[in-house]
Every structure is written in C-alpha cells, then in structure tokens.
Amino acid sequence: MSLHEERETLRLIERRCHRLSALAEGLHSEHSRVRAKLADAEEFLVLAPKARDRLEELSTALFGKILDEVEANLTHAIREILGQDRVVVTEREVKSNRLQIHFQIRNQGREEEIEDIMSGQGGSVCNILSVGLRLIALSQLPEERHRPFLVLDEQDCWLRPALIPKFMQLINEIARRLKLQLLIISHHPLDLFAGSADRIYELVPDREKGAVVRSVK
C-alpha cells in the first residue's frame, strides 16, 4: 500500500472514530435521561399508594360533611311526615376508588334495630327518602346546564292518606327553598294536597276524547 493510500485509510478511520464518538456521547446522554425518568417513575410508584390513600381520606371527609347534612334533612322529613322518632343513617366505604353509600333507618336509641328502607312502614320510608334524595341531587346540578324541574310520578303511592298533606307540604317547602319546579302526579283525592300546590289539573275520562284535562286550581 502506498503512502497516499495509507493516509486516505487513516482519514477514513479518523472520520469513523469521530462518528462513533458522537454516537457514544448521544447514547450516554439518552441513557442519563432515561435513568432520570426511571428514578422519577420509581419515586412516583413509592408515593402513589400514599397519595391514593390520602385522596380517599379527603374524599370521604368531604362527602362525609355533605352526607351528614343529607342525613339530618332526611331524618327531619321522616319525623315530620311519619311522626315517628326514626333516624336516617348512612354506611360509607371506599371500594375501587369509589365512595359507596348505604342508607339505613334506625329507631332512636335502639341502634341494633335496622329497618329496611324499601319496605319500612309499608313503603312510606322509601317514598320519602326517594323524593328527598332526588331534590338534593337536583339542587346540586349546575344551573347553566340543567333546568330546576322534577317530575314525581305517584311518589305518594305507598303513603297512608292521612300522611299525604304533610308529605306534600314538606315537598312544597323544600322546592321553594331550593327554587325548584315540581310536577307531581297522584291518584289520591285532590283535597289531600290542594293546599300545597300552586296549580292543580285533573285528568277526567271522556267518551269522545278518552280523557280531558280540567283545571281545578
């Protein structure tokens, strides 16, 4: 090999060496960056369970305050309508990062006696709690996206006739306080809730039209 050829070979080797050095430097920088991200990820994985547990505690505490108010309001409704010393309580637990709530009815001073809300007082308890929870839920919705309007279809179906005036009066007071508009459908006699409604319409059978709506109030 001539001297000229040796010099060309040497220059090729030098250029290749420079490229390999640049590549090595780039790989070293990438390795450092990946190690830094790995360290951040490992630190996050260490903190994640603690952060999750703390968030669950905060969520439970936050919803706990809301549920305390819900319990108090529903207890007041039960006592006002049924005239009985019962208390609405909730069991709260977090499962799969979700707060789960179970409603119960207990006799005051006799916590071991738990009443089924679905069948308690012949279904009256379920009627009252259902209306109360709907009104509370509707009042929490953003006004710019939801109309403050609720339809209650035969929500008084399991109530004894003697309890209906108090039931309707309480619904009327809550709706006014929360600025909600309600449409209540009932099969009970009109005189049971006439004093708690702004307007009353009666659906009357008609031989020709099947049924007509008659304004009563």
What local confidence, expressed as pLDDT, does residue 34 receive? 86
How does pLDDT run across 138-160, given as a tens digit for each residue?
A: 877 887 888 888 888 888 887 88
Q: So what's the pLDDT on residue 112? A: 61
Q: Could you read off the pLDDT of 76-111 as tens digits, one per residue?
A: 888 888 777 788 887 777 677 666 777 777 876 555
Residue 31, CA distances (Å) to 16, 44, 45, 165 in order: 22, 20, 21, 77
User: What is the pLDDT at residue 207?
Assistant: 80
Query: How many Cα atoms sit within 13 Å of 104 on the Cβ side?
Result: 15
- Please give the pLDDT value at position 120: 57
pLDDT below 50 — which residues of the chain? none
67-86 burial: b if 16+ Cβ within 10 Å, else e:
beebeebbbebbeebbeeeb
Fold of 140-217: Rossmann fold (3.40.50)
Give domain limits for the chain.
Answer: 140-217
Percent of the chain's residues with pLDDT above 90: 0
pTM above 0.85, yes or no: no
Q: Give the Cβ contact number of residue 109 at 10 Å.
A: 8
pLDDT of residue 1: 62
pLDDT, averaged across the chain: 78
**Predicted pLDDT at 42:** 78
